[in-house]
Structure 1
């Protein structure tokens, strides 16, 4: 035995936050209990609020454009929370949160951006556990109803009447007549007033098997309620829900129990009274404290949703509309799912399921298909619901180029389901044969080299393929060997497929036998070997030392993996043992780290990964914790990232489990994401729907088929364009479509209704994890509120996604260029620019429109002709604008009325001045004479008036440049403007 180092990788609690097979998980606080779905930041996307009991906090997870949730933002609370409800409690249009906390109710008023005001609390004399909101006093303001947690004052009901401003008035508490485990609010007597119904017990401990009863209290419409009326129920009552499940328009009551009839019906009489309880199901795995009635598949019939907190799962029972339900669909969600909420989290129009896991510190989100299912899992169409699968193989058995599925059934036959290429199948082609009694396995291959796929069944039977999905007469390969597993490969290098069988080592002295193939579907006599004390069980093949010769790997008892290197002639070297964590159930070979070397995966109590060195050794082991006891393993790229992932089936309490461990590409893996299957069996991997992504088939029960599929997430789910001028386009908005699934999304069409247009940038296909946009325009056709939608028809579950559109058309005017014209003109400086324009009134508006122009540059003039235009309702008129870029300015020269004499006097003085400049006294005298001469002239001319002369106007041009002028159209209170561009060269 070779030495091996043991590296154990414990799985973390950090779950996958991307959707895979419709499921994703998101981190919360410790012990998450209550949960609600609401748009707390007003972005049109659903957000999630979680109450974390152990942390005394709320976690707010904001919705993202791809339908996932962002990281949590925590809000501290005064006490330990239990449940929460949302609503607009202060009428400001923003979402608020109310949360029950042992002895009080806390109110956090929303700011509309995802944050909240400081908590205000209301003390309750009997505490608060369960919480609901309704308008119990019919004043149009939301109220709260709280039921106390158990203890010395267990089970009293407190009503908090809302004042409409975010504050409440606590009313006197009352008893519902017992210890309530759950309650529901509904108008049970159809008088328009909310009533209450309680799942009551005579004890606060289910371990005592106390008697149960349903208590009904009728609302008075003023915030008070009548005395309780009780109806006997089975012991250990657990949960309650109300709604019309019988289709008569009268509310009924559904209750669950921890023992006895897990589900029971109390049919309503329509007056607030009910008929005696009748059992619906005795399956106690359906016991739950949390029930909801909702129409999941839009057929008008209420379906039952529940979280089964005692077996780590949840269930759906589709309603028949007559008070009965179909068989439950089970979903694995975590270690202990608690309360839940239902709503559309990714904007695709389908109802989704959101559940906190109490022990797991995370929130599980299951996306709905719109048909009542929350998983892409389907059962194989075997033709008989009582038929179940022993083993399966895939391949093109009918030669049409599409993958088919062959299954061996408990009926002792082989059924081939011809594939249609899209993940669906035609009616099965049945071939009778007598398979193995205890061991079942199918391997497909061309064993007789005729170009048609054959099958080896159970290591004992050869079925030659006919090429049409049917098979010829079965031929026994061997019948005296108790087979546990087998593998196929060319072990002697002759080009013919050989068979290696592993028998029961507790009964066979040499439990391994090799049958060399002849290439015609027959095999040579068996060669047996194995002499170790270890007992071999499962077998896998690969070239572990890269010598071109097939080697074998065996799981052995006690806990180990044996490697036997082949010599290329059908012989093998002595086995080398590598320890496993426990007795392996299976062994698989694949290149997990992309180094071109085969690696090993074995399942015991854990998933053991051995990375190969390429020399035939596997010295290091890494273990991964699955969600349950692992059984079989398959490998494939299930999310299309180019890295190998692991699909592990397992056993647990309830249905079978399928764990997907996403590979990191280096031989390590993320923590498992878990799904439910019809049982635990072999994993078959192939692309069965032709989208290029690996699919998973679990060969157990009726066969669980997990097909890669797209998930169309639309964001936002509502677009409001506000107010826009009727007849004119508002500023555009966009819608983002994200393919959150693991298969390509085919987009068939994008269409808008109403006064909206949609321009898709998405093309016809959207790859997994990709997104694209749709540009939406709103052009109001009339005045007032208007609505429409964008409908995206695609291949996602439900087939179509819709975005609600709204906007308001307002009276207005628009100015635009006439056909062939422009609002921009280029002219040479000094020239005139001309604009041919039109003004249009919105539909429903008309009148005389005054037109003005402003903002002209210096030396430019803007003229509008005509300056007013009469418009009928929705009518239009034309006008022109001319802008001159030159202005003529006259130069005015002024002169006085002194006449020639004054001019002559001044001239004489000027001429004489040089002659007397050296004689200052004479100069002074001369100046005096000149001044007297001027006064004389003025007196002679009759005073000091003035005159002018114009030598001719001077032209001034606008400087070169780009100018923006504003054109204004107005009629009464309605005004609009249009910019005109003037380019002067």
Structure 2
């Protein structure tokens, strides 16, 4: 569990913040004006959190080596203070108070990443300038560029991401807006970004989110957009104007390359991430299903169709996103679940314990109730057997565990009849306790049972 917050959004992210190559956990404490940092140790475990003063009301966190010096910068967007701050660990492993990034306007959403191959990361922000939306890019050396966006763009976006959505080799910007089309800022070499509003496949939704994955194994990542119980992998493409079109302008549409369904028709998918699937070209895809409260694993079958392989029940349901991270290894091996007040990790490498059912047993005693069970070797075959305390009709029900790992009924008898002990304490289920041990000193295990105020011993013959 994380420090509790009542904010609708809090900044939470996995990223390497101290330059040791290991992903760490950053958690904003919006009401307290702090950032808690959980550093990852060499074995994959996390240290106790260290809290550092920060901006209040931080809703978004991004991490990137902005100036290319090998030391990651941490970007913090504060909705309360209407500012973006940047900080990084110093030589004493402290996180100084963030330095404010000069911006003309109120920042709404941000993203940090390289806009061109081989370049240093760029800070990209959509700002509100007295009701007018603008797109601002800023590099570590202070170079900034502002592009005014459409006058009809009045809404507040909830997500901004950097992704080559049309797969032309140039990074684009994608802004998601509740109940509205996807706003795409296409990068055009030597020109301003081309602003496009594109209808999402399946229609607009209340809480849009996105992910990226190479679902077809061609080496290029597709954009994943959700529609309640399924995801669609899309690529932006130009559509030539029709013969009856009033203009000669081309439009942009999402070309659906694949669809991945959730576990059921009532699924509500709110997050997705991928992990490498051995030597397969297509990764394993994990879906966060809020309605069914499961983490769903999907993989391609032999015919290339995405299928649900497994559903993992979640310990708590206060999660809103997924992220693939590396814990104790150099490559991603863990699915990290993030929420407003919780964070969890599901490791998918190394040795793990798993329970599997070997056999089952149902007592043949009519109206019987198996209240408890103990184990012990009652036939000297080296395997422990089971003694069930049946309290509906007051029996001992013995079941042997065979070498084939099966539960085999052995013997059962009624320890007492109710009328025999009428009036004696009825506060306990009887027989209530039992023990298997060598009580007679002959090297053979015996059975002792507590019934009411007596101890009954059954020596092994």
Fold match, TM over 0.5?
A: yes
Change (3 A) 1:111 1:463: closer
Give the C-alpha shift of residue 144 in structure 1: 2.5
Q: Distance in 1 between matches of 2:427 and 2:16?
A: 60
Q: Distance in 2 between matches of 1:244 and 1:176?
A: 31
Contact 2:275 2:333 in 1 (8 A): no
Change (3 A) 1:153 1:305: farther
Give the C-alpha shift of residue 330 in structure 1: 2.6
What is the aligned partner in structure 2 of residue 359 from structure 1? Answer: 341
What is the aligned partner in structure 1 of residue 433 from structure 2? Answer: 541
Q: Distance in 1 between matches of 2:407 and 2:38?
A: 56
| Structure 2 residues without counterparts, runs of 5 or longer | 239-251, 441-446
**2:87 paired residue among 87, 108, 113:** 108
- The reply to whether residue 172 of structure 1 matches residue 172 of structure 2 is no
| Structure 1 residues without counterparts, runs of 5 or longer | 1-14, 16-26, 203-211, 381-388, 390-405, 413-432, 479-512, 516-524, 553-563, 571-985
Q: Deviations over 1:267-309 (max 9, x none)?
A: 4376674346957124555432x43344365633233345556
What is the aligned partner in structure 1 of residue 242 from structure 2? Answer: none
Contact 1:41 1:112 in 2 (8 A): no
Give the C-alpha shift of residue 81 in structure 1: 0.7
- The reply to whether residue 245 of structure 1 matches residue 215 of structure 2 is yes
**2:225 paired residue among 235, 255, 258:** 255
- The reply to whether residue 194 of structure 1 matches residue 163 of structure 2 is no
**1:224 paired residue among 172, 193, 208:** 193
Q: Deviations over 1:530-587 (max 9, x none)?
A: 65897756975269xxxx99675xxxxxxxxxxx7643347xxxxxxxxxxxxxxxxx
Contact 1:188 1:194 in 2 (8 A): yes
What is the aligned partner in structure 2 of residue 264 from structure 1? Answer: 231
Q: Distance in 1 between matches of 2:195 and 2:102?
A: 24
Q: Deviations over 1:127-157 (max 9, x none)?
A: 324x3222336782312234579xx969x67
Give the C-alpha shift of residue 408 in structure 1: 0.5
Matches within 5 A, 1:797-876: none
What is the aligned partner in structure 2 of residue 407 from structure 1? Answer: 359
**2:352 paired residue among 366, 369, 376:** 376
Q: Distance in 1 between matches of 2:162 and 2:268?
A: 22
Change (3 A) 1:298 1:535: farther
Change (3 A) 1:451 1:38: closer
What is the aligned partner in structure 2 of residue 347 from structure 1? Answer: 329
Change (3 A) 1:350 1:90: closer
Change (3 A) 1:443 1:136: same
Matches within 5 A, 1:616-695: none
- The reply to whether residue 291 of structure 1 matches residue 272 of structure 2 is yes
RMSD over aligned CA atoms reads: 4.7
What is the aligned partner in structure 1 of residue 59 from structure 2? Answer: 82
Larger Cα-atom Rg: 1
Give the C-alpha shift of residue 86 in structure 1: 1.0
Change (3 A) 1:351 1:28: farther
Give the C-alpha shift of residue 336 in structure 1: 1.9
Contact 1:245 1:251 in 2 (8 A): yes
Q: Relative to structure 2, which stretch is displaced further, 97-106 or 240-249?
A: 240-249
What is the aligned partner in structure 1 of residue 71 from structure 2? Answer: 94
Change (3 A) 1:327 1:111: same
What is the aligned partner in structure 2 of residue 280 from structure 1? Answer: 261
Contact 2:185 2:193 in 1 (8 A): no
In the comparison of the two structures, how many residue pairs are matched?
417
Q: Distance in 2 between matches of 1:528 and 1:181?
A: 73
Contact 2:137 2:146 in 1 (8 A): yes
Contact 1:219 1:226 in 2 (8 A): no
Contact 1:310 1:336 in 2 (8 A): no
**1:49 paired residue among 13, 19, 26:** 26
Q: Distance in 2 between matches of 1:157 and 1:333?
A: 42
Change (3 A) 1:105 1:434: same
Q: Deviations over 1:104-139 (max 9, x none)?
A: 32222453553345422344635324x322233678
Q: Please, what TM-score do these two structures have when normalized by structure 1?
A: 0.36
Contact 2:61 2:75 in 1 (8 A): yes
Change (3 A) 1:331 1:38: same
Give the C-alpha shift of residue 344 in structure 1: 1.6
Q: Deviations over 1:697-719 (max 9, x none)?
A: xxxxxxxxxxxxxxxxxxxxxxx
What is the aligned partner in structure 2 of residue 120 from structure 1? Answer: 100
Q: Distance in 2 between matches of 1:160 and 1:306?
A: 32
Give the C-alpha shift of residue 454 in structure 1: 4.4
Contact 2:359 2:406 in 1 (8 A): no
Q: Distance in 2 between matches of 1:298 and 1:28?
A: 40
